[in-house]
Amino acid sequence: MTGDRASDQAAIRTASCSCGGLRLSFRGEPLRVYACACLECQRATGTAFAYRARFHAEAVVEDVGERRRFRRMADKGHWMDQIFCPTCGTLIYMEAEVMPGALVVSVGCFSDPDFAPPAALFWARRKHGWYELDGAIDQKD
Ligand SMILES: [Zn+2]
Ligand SMILES: [Zn+2]
């Protein structure tokens, strides 16, 4: 099998907003999957933690729909954009000054309960007390 054949057979995953107007498809595996319990992520997602997968921008094979950006300043004054559907408001991905060429996608938008688990939980000290993590998930303060 050639390398080209192998990449042709790589998984294609599609992230979609609630109304289906904004959709992005990615070829291949994410670079990293993580969760974050910081208060900004709790607010942005409206829930106890964010669960995200980072992909190379080059992994995007389909990108459809209108979007809006909300820019916030993160640690040390670097910008971070939350990109959402203007119709339904789903935060489908983020881009960050510190991660050029990458999209950080909300894993829930893939509608795939078998998606890879997070390798780490950032801001673990903000974790809500009611949930416990698998021991394989590295907790980082
Ligand atoms: Zn939508
Ligand atoms: Zn966070």
pLDDT along the chain (141 residues), means of 10: 59 97 97 96 96 98 98 89 98 96 98 96 96 91 86
Question: Are 51 and 118 contacting, i.e. CB atoms less than 8 angstroms apart?
Answer: yes
**pTM of structure:** 0.90
- For residue 64, the ligand closest to its alpha carbon is 1
> Which of 3.40.50.2300, 3.90.1590.10, 3.90.550.10, 1.10.150.20 would CATH assign to domain 12-128+135-140?
3.90.1590.10
Q: Where are the domains of the chain?
A: 12-128+135-140
Q: Rounded distance, CA 17 to CA 68, Å?
A: 13
> What's the token pair of residue 112?
């795939």
> What's the token pair of residue 44?
């942005």
CA of 29 to the centre of ligand 2 (A): 22
Q: Which of 113, 138, 110, 112 is CA-nearest to residue 123?
A: 138
- For residue 121, the ligand closest to its alpha carbon is 2
Q: What is the β-pairing status of strands 79-84 and 68-73? A: antiparallel
CA of 80 to the centre of ligand 2 (A): 11
CA of 36 to the centre of ligand 2 (A): 4
Burial 30-48 (b: 16+ CB within 10 A, else e): bebbbbbbbebbbebbeee
**Tens digits of residue pLDDT in 91-118:** 999 999 999 999 999 999 999 999 999 9
